[in-house]
Amino acid sequence: MDAPTFYHTTVLLKEAVDALSIRPDGVYVDATFGGGGHSREILSRLGPSGKLIAFDHDSDAWANMPEDKRLIKVPENFRYMSRFLRLHGFNEGVDGILADLGVSSWQFDTGERGFSIRFDGPLDMRMDNRIEKTAADILHTYPEADLHRIFEEGGEVRNARQLARHIVQHRGRNKMTDIEALKALITPVMKGNPQRYLAQLFQALRIEVNDELNALKEFLEQAPNCLKPGGRLSVISFHSLEDRLVKTFMKRGVWKDDTNEFGQLTNKSLLRSLTPKPIEPGPEELKNNPRSRSAKLRIAERL
């Protein structure tokens, strides 16, 4: 199998793939191809008749695509999983679905993508360059109330209201087209550890640019009907917003319980959660890859 063309350390590699209980002749989905680590591990466990359908809307990710006729490439967001599985003829469902919701190492380590607080670069943050709206567009056009909302909800920024007001007051004469310009503008209102503060702000902007939470909800809603009975769903999240959504859906299978006039539930989950507590990286992985420290793996099975 071809070697990767850029560096990326895959988090919870063995644990996430073990969770799928791979059958050599099975059909599996890697919903977030990224650096390709999970895909390569799945392929290594498949036999000649097995299939892997890999999704990723970041065109850079496919530089790591191995030459393997068992792999079907889908250069789209995983929110469209059900549609493309039908398009490729997998109408009866698949045996397992894996999603790693983290930003890949090369995205954090490449300044021109705008994801990292360590390098100067354009305030872009688009996973999919077909999207028009960038982080700079959000900072320059969103009303104060909307900026406050995304900073508070998406990044849990301590002084989200003050930050939103400061940006709106100063953005007319201070163009935030690159990372250093944004840092310079918000320095007077940053609270606590500057690195942590910026990381929270960048997370909020990235989530908004890529509509990440809505995409995750749509993906999770589709997963039960995309799985065969007994099929597994394996999801790695990296912050509390994602983990809360994954935990809730795996436990309940719906976002809101509906009841009839007798107080009986009218919707029944098609999933059974297998992880009352999430699986987290062990000491060795934390030592070798500090970025894995916030990873949480949750697993569910289709009933």
Identify the pLDDT of residue 266.
59
Whole-model pTM above 0.75?
yes
CA distance 214 to 220: 10
Residue 94, beta-bridge partner list: 227
Give all strands (DSSP E) within the chain, no chain letters. 27-30, 51-55, 71-74, 94-100, 227-237, 271-273, 296-302
Identify the pLDDT of residue 103.
82
Task: List the one residue out of 75, 80, 25 whose CA is nearest residue 49.
Answer: 25
Give all strands (DSSP E) within 123-277, no chain letters. 227-237, 271-273
Q: CA-CA-CA-CA torsion for 238, 60, 129, 236, nearest 10 degrees? A: -20
CA distance 173 to 187: 16
Identify the pLDDT of residue 233.
98
Sign of CA dihedral 47, 53, 56, 59: positive
222-280 pLDDT, tens per residue? 999 999 999 999 999 999 999 999 999 999 887 766 666 666 555 678 999 999 999 99
For residue 117, the tally of other CB atoms under 10 A from its CB is 16
Identify the pLDDT of residue 9.
81
Identify the pLDDT of residue 110.
61
Identify the pLDDT of residue 6.
47
Task: List the one residue out of 12, 54, 10, 63 whose CA is nearest residue 30.
Answer: 54
CA distance 59 to 293: 27
Give how far Cα 3 sits from Cα of 47, 57, 159, Å: 20, 21, 45
What is the block-wise mean pLDDT of the chain (303 residues), using blocks of 10 residues? 59 97 98 96 98 95 94 98 98 97 68 74 92 96 98 96 98 92 96 95 96 97 97 97 96 73 69 97 94 95 97
Identify the pLDDT of residue 111.
54
Task: List the one residue out of 161, 138, 143, 112 whose CA is nearest residue 211.
Answer: 138
Domains annotated on the chain, with CATH: 13-105+212-302 (3.40.50.150), 111-210 (1.10.150.170)
CA distance 212 to 145: 20
Contact 213, 241 (CB under 8 A): yes
- Give the list of residues 6+ apart from residue 231 with CB closer than 8 angstroms, or none: 93, 94, 95, 96, 97, 301, 302
